[in-house]
Amino acid sequence: MGVTKSEKFTEEQNKIARMTKAIGHPARIAIIQYLFSIDSCVCGDIVNEIGLAQPTISQHLKELKSVGLIKGSVEGTSVCYCIDYHNWSLMKNLLSPILNLDAATLKKCC
């Protein structure tokens, strides 16, 4: 597989790609939906809710946190995770122009 030439794309295009890649797994979608349904939680709660192994959940949490869609804080021996609402809004604003493109308004050329 070739190396991605991210320097050929705008900062916005690269940011959109990183965020959509992070949410491009059904377990991560389930984690996000769960975090939106509650105020915050610890990793063990997510494991029980999603039904995957703790190391697997931790890896998915790491991916979501690395792009800033969630944030975590240490509370004793646990980490409490929640949605980063600022970055969630940023992602929605970045994706809206793309998701609002409408092929029906274009000429049919193919």
Domain 9-95: CATH architecture, name and number where available: Orthogonal Bundle (1.10)
Query: What is the residue extent of each domain of the chain?
Result: 9-95
Residue 34 pLDDT exceeds 70: yes
Contact 20, 95 (CB under 8 A): yes
pLDDT, tens digit (0-9, with 9 covering 90-100), for 41-84: 777 789 999 999 999 999 999 999 999 999 998 878 888 999 99
User: What's the predicted TM-score (pTM) here?
Assistant: 0.84
